[in-house]
Structure 1
Amino acid sequence: MTPFTTVTGVAAALPTPNIDTDVIMPKQFLKRIDRAGLAIGAFHDLRFDTDGQTRPDFVLNRAPYNQAKFLICGDNFGCGSSREYAVWGLQQLGIRAIIAPSISGIFFGNCEKNGLLAITLPPGDVDLLMAHADTPRTALMTIDLDAQTITAGPLRIGFDIPAARKALLLSGADHIQQTLDRAATITEFEAKQAATRHWLWARG
């Protein structure tokens, strides 16, 4: 995964609450057997009409928001099914962080597993960030994960994040790599257990 340290980029506001994973990644894009080419699926039905033409009224189709790295979202973002494709598609679209008053639990977990920073803030703080993002000339924002701050113009807002999740994002490691990094400790534990509780290791 790509480490998240300090990232500066355009923020786009998606104030609608309850944007579910079928909106983020419609079901027809779940037929793929790998992660490649999912950017086209991200918000597909909002970005394109039935003829495949871009919808000029959708925020991510307008400059500078077509280069957005951050989404400032409404309540309960990512609700619905547990499809991990939704996170993959957002990342391939260039999104590095989601900010919302609340984020659906399974979607939040998928963000953690795949290196997409998910931040929950009080509604008042989200409203302030949306107001900045809603004006193109003030839409630029910086997230400093180490300092746990979001800076947008004169605004400087802190956010909470569990230490273990923060370490994963800063390093760019995933849960599998985190386990592999402890391979020697795991092997040592298994050897001791096999010697002292051999019945657990008995074979058929």
Structure 2
Amino acid sequence: MRPPAAVTEDYLKTIYAHTEWQSDDITPSQLAARLELAPSTVTEMVKKLAAAGLVTHRRYGSISLTDEGRVKAIAVVRRHRLIETWLVTEMGYTWDAVHDEAEILEHAISDRLLDAIDERLGHPRRDPHGDPIPDAAGKADREDFVLLTDAVDGHEGTVLRISDRDPELLRDLERRGVDVGSPLRVESQHPLAVSCDGATLRLDDAAGEAIWLTA
């Protein structure tokens, strides 16, 4: 069984991450799906988080972080993304293999070790998937963005972020030369096709929902 503090951090991090790249608050059913838990389990935990002053939630409504909850969420997000970056940069992990390791380590390492990792890496601004890494004060750099599936035909942009939720998709995109920082042009949406470094690539809907471009 996971320690209560780790469970709380997992909930707060998931709620925070849901609104990083879109504006709608997370619903209890979405939170349950993201955490792969029964809705009843999530409902009870959300009540506890609300009682602790970490989230606000109306019955049958969406969930949002309070100021205190947001501070705690950003702290664990910083840990997770710095660890992912460290594993790739220093430990030889591939970008599709770091998420689960970081899920474990983010609850275990000390603040002193985290600061040492940050210093060692030169205070990186983004993790291997393009997600912004908050600094020690909780601030994170953000550029204007558009989800690939929402980009108009002819849109040209640089890949800002690729979701790490599907490791197989990450491996497939890497094989096809699509990475954070890659320049893409949207050739068509139906079917989804992009050009990257002179090559035209057909992508499925999952890729369209997982890639964010500069606006």
Which category describes the TM-score, using the shorter chain as reference length?
under 0.3
TM superposition score normalised by structure 1: 0.26
What TM-score do the two structures reach when normalised by structure 2? 0.25
